[in-house]
Amino acid sequence: MFLEEAEKYGVFPLDNTSFARAITPLPSTTAGQTEFTYSGEMPGIPTGNAPDIVAKSFSITADVEVPEGGGEGMLVTLGGSQAF
């Protein structure tokens, strides 16, 4: 019965590659780049265009001006839930 209905509604060929497509990296404008310079506030950089720091050895150098009375916020984050 499934085969008849599938043929009737044009669902063939069945495509089971959605997971593979979902995890395939998208093209990146930063591929191969090892040095990044940012200034000002960066409200969000798409993960594919951000420096790839996952499971890699890296260092960060930052010139930070802390206002009188202190400051708040993070210097680096990836995905919004892990601050470094």
Share of the chain above pLDDT 70, in %: 92
Per-residue buried b or exposed e for 53-66, using 16+ beta carbons within 10 Å of the residue's own CB: eeeeeeeeeeeeee
Position 69 confidence tier, pLDDT thresholds 50, 70, 90: very high
- Mean pLDDT score of the chain: 80
Regarding pTM above 0.75, the answer is no
Is 84 within the bounds of a domain? no
Average pLDDT estimate for 13-29: 80
At 79 the pLDDT is 61
Q: Does any domain span residue 20?
A: yes
Q: Are 34 and 57 spatial neighbours (Cβ–Cβ below 8 Å)?
A: no
Closest to 11 in 3D by CA, of 21, 19, 22, 3: 3
Give the domain extent around 16.
1-38+48-61
Q: Which pairs from 74-78 meet CB under 8 Å and 24+ separation?
A: 78/47, 78/50, 78/53, 78/54
Q: Is 79 part of any domain?
A: no
Is residue 27, in this structure, part of any structural domain at all?
yes
Measured distance CA(25)–CA(47) in Å, rounded: 10
Q: Which of 40, 34, 38, 77 is nearest to 56 (CA)?
A: 34
Q: Is 24 domain-assigned?
A: yes
Q: Please count the structural domains in the chain.
A: 1
In a domain, 11, yes or no: yes
Q: Is pLDDT above 50 for 83?
A: no
